[in-house]
Amino acid sequence: MERDRIILHVDQNCFFASVGMISHPEYRDVPMAVAGDIEKRHGIILAKNQKASAYGIKTAEVIWQAKAKCPDLVLIPPEYEKYEFYSKRLKYMYTEYTDLVEPFGLDECWLDMTGIISDFTEAERFADEIRRRVRDEYKLTCSVGVSFNKCFAKLGSDYKKPDATTVITPDRFREIVWPLPASDLLFVGKSTVKNLTKINVNTIGDLAALDPEYVAKFLGKTGVLLWEYANGIDDSPVSEIRHRRDIKSIGNSTTPPDDLTSPEDVRRVLLSLSSNVAARLRKHNLKATVVQIHVRDRNLAVYEHQRVLFEPTDLAGVINEKARELFEESYDWHCPIRSIGVRCANVVSAGEGEQLSIYTDLERREKNEKISRAMDDINRRFGKGTVRHLGELGDNG
């Protein structure tokens, strides 16, 4: 049975205004907006903070209208270099979770987490972790939608704002999505809303209930696409991050539902993380020369350690062995573990400058490489996680 995809959509809240408030924290407590052509009364509002939104100020309205609603509105000019800076940093952070990161403007991204995490409960924890990291590391806030396709993931990120996570699962999308206005659906603009109103379609559910042939005659191919979106039909892939060729490291981390309290818990999680990282290395035809671990304990203290390998590798066993060594040498179990991650750094193209160590067991390595690639093939054909290492299954495997 084919597994549901797990897609996240991360949308920065009031991005331009929020970046402006980083440089000017005094604007956090007053209504403020980013505006073009501030010297001209006919310039428009590009973004606004929550205080300004409370006055009914809207993006794209002209300055004089906004000032009429809020005479004390503070206006600042756009700072595009800063927006680009934060946008790039945020995208780089997302690649710590998956290499399938597709930007949608400066302040939005889709992340495909299919196969990296097991279900929507875990996806919600990852979404919450991303929101926390955006707050803690960048002093910004974002909303995250979690769903089984790109369209509903984006709709989820718009559902609650600011700083919220919304999960839309295959079994619940009708009760969440269908009552919403048709205008909330991806690619439904003002013109389409007018056309839909003519046939008494006001909600997404109204659109989903129409006969697709009727929609095709009335709205053409675009209408059919929107009808599919309304019914949860969206197979469009999440593209790989554009600077994929510049990948310097590949990692994976997890925050389990319960803190890790024993070495066996950690060994099982490290093996799972190492397997995922190794598979992604092979996918990109890369090998790692450094293994790193990242541990956050219950008190949120962070411990990071790394080790250089004798030779480049893309094998889960080698990566897992080094990760375990690093953990066992560095962590004293002073308290349980909240989250843990494995990262392979200083990656090189497979075979590039590779020099075999005198300790290399060629026959064993070739056998392990064949097994790993066979597992990759099975997981690619039948879904990620179809074949896993025995140690990942734990007591219930």
Are 100 and 182 members of one domain?
no
Residue 332 CB-density burial (10 A; 0-12 exposed, 13-18 middle, 19+ buried)? exposed
Are 146 and 213 members of one domain?
no
Q: Per the domain annotation, does 2 fall within a domain? A: no
Are 26 and 44 members of one domain?
yes
Alpha-carbon span 226 to 184, nearest angstrom: 11
- In this structure, what CATH number is given to the domain that contains residue 32? 3.40.1170.60
Are 90 and 74 members of one domain?
no
Are 98 and 194 members of one domain?
no
Q: Which of 61, 79, 108, 321 is catalytic?
A: 108
Of the candidates 146, 139, 145, the one whose C-alpha atom is nearest the C-alpha of residue 5 is 146
Tokens linked to 374: 């066979």
Q: What is the pLDDT of residue 352?
A: 55
The residue from 169, 189, 213 where one domain ends is: 169
Are 42 and 105 members of one domain?
no
Alpha-carbon span 344 to 249, nearest angstrom: 5
Q: Per the domain annotation, does 237 fall within a domain? A: no
Q: Per the domain annotation, does 240 fall within a domain? A: no
- In this structure, what CATH number is given to the domain that contains residue 286? 3.30.1490.100
Are 377 and 260 members of one domain?
yes
Q: Per the domain annotation, does 236 fall within a domain? A: no
Are 67 and 203 members of one domain?
no
- In this structure, what CATH number is given to the domain that contains residue 197? 1.10.150.20
Domain that holds residue 307: 247-396
- In this structure, what CATH number is given to the domain that contains residue 116? 3.30.70.270
Are 278 and 319 members of one domain?
yes
Query: How many domains, the chain?
Result: 4
Q: Per the domain annotation, does 241 fall within a domain? A: no
Alpha-carbon span 58 to 381, nearest angstrom: 48
Give, for all 397 residues of the chain, the pLDDT tens digit. Answer: 356 899 999 999 999 999 999 988 999 899 999 987 666 555 889 899 999 999 999 988 889 899 999 999 999 988 888 999 999 999 989 988 888 999 998 899 999 999 888 899 999 999 999 999 999 999 999 999 999 999 999 999 999 989 999 999 999 999 999 999 999 998 898 889 999 999 999 999 999 999 999 998 888 888 899 999 999 999 899 988 764 445 778 888 887 878 899 999 999 999 989 988 998 888 888 999 999 998 988 887 888 899 999 889 999 999 999 999 999 999 999 999 988 999 998 888 876 545 444 444 445 555 555 655 665 555 555 444 444 444 444 544 4
Are 131 and 195 members of one domain?
no
Is it true that the peptide bond before 77 is cis, omega within 30 degrees of 0? no
Q: Per the domain annotation, does 389 fall within a domain? A: yes
Q: Per the domain annotation, does 193 fall within a domain? A: yes
Q: What is the pLDDT of residue 395?
A: 47
Q: What is the pLDDT of residue 38?
A: 65
Task: Give CA 258 to chain center in angstroms.
Answer: 22
Please say if 325 is a catalytic residue: no
Model pLDDT for residues 193-232, shown as the tens digit of each residue:
999 999 999 999 999 999 999 998 888 888 899 999 999 9
Are 258 and 123 members of one domain?
no
The residue from 80, 96, 122 where one domain ends is: 80
Q: What is the pLDDT of residue 377?
A: 57
The residue from 80, 111, 126 where one domain ends is: 80
Q: Per the domain annotation, does 211 fall within a domain? A: yes
Are 273 and 361 members of one domain?
yes
